Structure 1
Amino acid sequence: MSRSYKGDVSVEECWSVLQSDPQSFLVDVRTSAEWNFVGFPLVPENGRDAVFAEWQNYPSMSVDAGFVERVGAAVRAAGGSQESAIFFLCRSGARSMSSAAAMTAAGFSACHNVLDGFEGPPDPDGHRGNLAGWKAAGLPWRQK
């Protein structure tokens, strides 16, 4: 099946590239409420700061029409280009697919969706963050 972005990667693959390629970027597309109440990923010390840009505006959850322009400007301002590896992360991997596709359509050639996102799927008790994703993999993160 062909994708409208470069491809899907695991959280471990994303972390590995962020560590080895200081020109790569992590873009967290969740909402400000999620960053504030659930937590947010940290990037390797040698990497670029993560970009935090809502794909959908909270609480309406309408797609942000300025997303592509804002993320593109943030990447360029940090020294990146349309060829930079960019990894898109959301809660479980759906919004990040859409945002990676939108950035690819805007001419960014190395956009990746991070599978399982920050929290991954719910466990049998309905809790996220235990089965898969950034938190479950033990990657660095912080909660405000």
Structure 2
Amino acid sequence: MSEDIPNVQPKDVWEALKTDPSAKLVDVRTTPEWSFVGQPDMSSIGKAPVRIQWQVYPGMEVEADFIHKLRVEGVEPEDKVYFLCRSGVRSTAAAKLAAQHGYTQVFNIEDGFEGPKDEQGHRGTVAGWKRSGLPWSQG
């Protein structure tokens, strides 16, 4: 796969997760983001997001064992892997690294979990997983 990682709309990711047993969502945000901002709730389709920090909080260093952790979590190189972060930057970087390590079907979830900031500087009001009306939970 080239360095160009395809972007997929959140609702299209949800459909893929529902219909394809090999489709996995990898949430690369930080532990505080999972706890305080929320995370995709895939319980209605019998799945759960794979949570692996791309940058480890609080120092925000890139996780050196990211690929190893993908494999430990059961994410296989032939799976369809949809990467998610807040806005799409970290998830694109994670998808590129996965592609460099033999993952052949990697995708970035367009606009991430919260999407870009609105005119007031707030996230979650313009685009992203939450704004798309997809299931999510907090806490």
TM over 0.5: yes
Match of 2:93 in 1: 98
Return the letter of the residue paired with 2:33: E
| Partner Cα separation in structure 1 for residue 122 and residue 67 of structure 2 | 31
Name the SS for the 2:3 alignment partner.
coil
Structure 1: gaps spanning 5 or more residues: none
Match of 1:132 in 2: 127
Return the letter of the residue paired with 1:29: V
Match of 2:17 in 1: 18
Q: Taking structure 1 as reference, are residues 87 and 15 closer, same or farther at Cα in structure 2, changes over 3 Å only?
A: same
Match of 1:38 in 2: 37
Note the alpha carbon deviations across 1:3-54, whole angstroms, 9 max, x for none.
4255111111111101111221000000001011101111263353210000
Name the SS for the 2:45 alignment partner.
coil
* TM-score of the superposed pair, with normalisation by structure 1: 0.90
| Partner Cα separation in structure 2 for residue 41 and residue 114 of structure 1 | 12
Bigger shift: 37-46 or 106-115? Answer: 37-46
Note the alpha carbon deviations across 1:86-129, whole angstroms, 9 max, x for none.
00000000000000011111111111011100000011111100
Moved over 6 A (4+): none
Name the SS for the 2:133 alignment partner.
coil
| Partner Cα separation in structure 1 for residue 97 and residue 125 of structure 2 | 29
Q: How many residues align?
A: 139
Match of 1:8 in 2: 7
Name the SS for the 1:75 alignment partner.
coil
Return the letter of the residue paired with 2:138: Q
Decide whether the 8 Å contact of 2:5 with 2:92 is kept in 1. no
1:83 equivalent to 2:78? Answer yes
Match of 1:120 in 2: 115
Note the alpha carbon deviations across 1:39-92, whole angstroms, 9 max, x for none.
11112633532100000011111101011110122125xxxx311100000000
**Percent sequence identity over aligned pairs:** 42
Name the SS for the 2:72 alignment partner.
helix
Name the SS for the 1:137 alignment partner.
coil
Q: Taking structure 1 as reference, are residues 115 and 18 closer, same or farther at Cα in structure 2, changes over 3 Å only?
A: same
Return the letter of the residue paired with 1:38: V
* TM-score of the superposed pair, with normalisation by structure 2: 0.93
